[in-house]
Amino acid sequence: MKYSWFVVLVMVLLILSACAAPAPGSPAENQAEEAFATDRKRMVVEDIVRRGIKDPRVLEAMEKVPRHRFVPEEYLSEAYADHPLPIGHGQTISQPYIVALMTQHLLLEPGDKVLEIGTGSGYQAAILAEITDEVYSVEIIEPLGKQAETRLKELDYNVHCKIDDGYYGWEEYAPFDAIIVACAPDHVPQPLTRQLKDGGRLVMPVGPPGFYQTLWLIVREGEQFKLINLGGVRFVPMLGKH
Ligand code: SAH
């Protein structure tokens, strides 16, 4: 009788430790990380390379960034699946292929200064930060932006984050070599085109919310802008008042 409480306590502790996430650096965690890495390799080959993405910097980044660290726990098993996933507040982490496609069109080189509109989970920002050290990202939904900022820091990604309406870009750090927009406004925001360097690239979806949008590549040539239609896509709408 004297020992029965002790036995119950030990059993409770054993059950709790079995349910908890594996301890950092433990064999169980190493095994889980290896499984995620295998899944990530499969994703790059089957969903990205096979669809024509060739930029070695983009492929290397997609193979390196732990996407599973950017998705809510209930979607962990789908972290490397070929579709977007909910991240709360009615928003989504983009489909891996779309992240790769948009990043490839930015023609990023190490040292380029890049602005992202729509930090969301922080995943796209991490991909950019694998390629260049100068990444700026704006998110309009405060809890998402704050969570992404913390997560990016934990993973050692050097990304400057702010909470604001990204329609207006980030004047203080302009001009940018490249701008990527992860939400779809119904027109191209002029502040963003103005914040591009000469020769700079802007990749963004444009179109009415709830429908398919068109992905555009806009290249600045002096005071002229070249518009290239990259095809139909589906994105969450751009929020804010403009
Ligand atoms: N790049 C993100 C994708 C997030 S989805 C990722 O990798 O997870 C698009 C994001 O754009 C959402 O988080 C949404 O809140 C944000 N957003 C929408 N309108 C915005 C605006 N006007 N300014 C900044 N962010 C905006």
pTM, two decimals, is 0.91
Domain spans, the chain: 27-233
- Please list, in sequence order, all residues whose beta carbon lies within 8 angstroms of the beta carbon of residue 56, skipping any fewer than 6 positions away: none
- Provide CB contacts within 8 A for 193, sequence distance 6+: 202, 218, 220, 225
Q: Which positions ≥6 away from 15 have C-beta within 8 Å?
A: none
For residue 162 the two structure tokens come to 């702010």
Nearest to 213 by CA among 94, 59, 62, 120: 94
Residues in contact with ligand 1 by the CB-under-6-Å rule are 91-94, 117-118, 120-121, 123-124, 138-141, 144, 165-167, 182-183, 236, 238-240
Whole-angstrom distance, CA of residue 217 vs CA of residue 137 = 19
Best mutation site among 206, 236, 241, 242 for ligand 1, i.e. most ligand atoms within 8 A of its Cβ?
236
Instruction: State the angle between helix axes of 56-64 and 96-105 in degrees (0 to 180), rounded to the nearest 10.
Output: 150
Distance (Å, whole) CA 109 – CA 42: 25
Q: What is the pLDDT of residues 112-145, one digit of tens each?
A: 999 999 999 999 999 999 999 999 999 999 999 9
Mean local confidence (pLDDT), 207-211: 81
User: pLDDT tens digits for 43-70?
Assistant: 999 999 999 999 999 999 999 999 999 9
- The fold of the 27-233 domain, in CATH, is Rossmann fold (3.40.50)
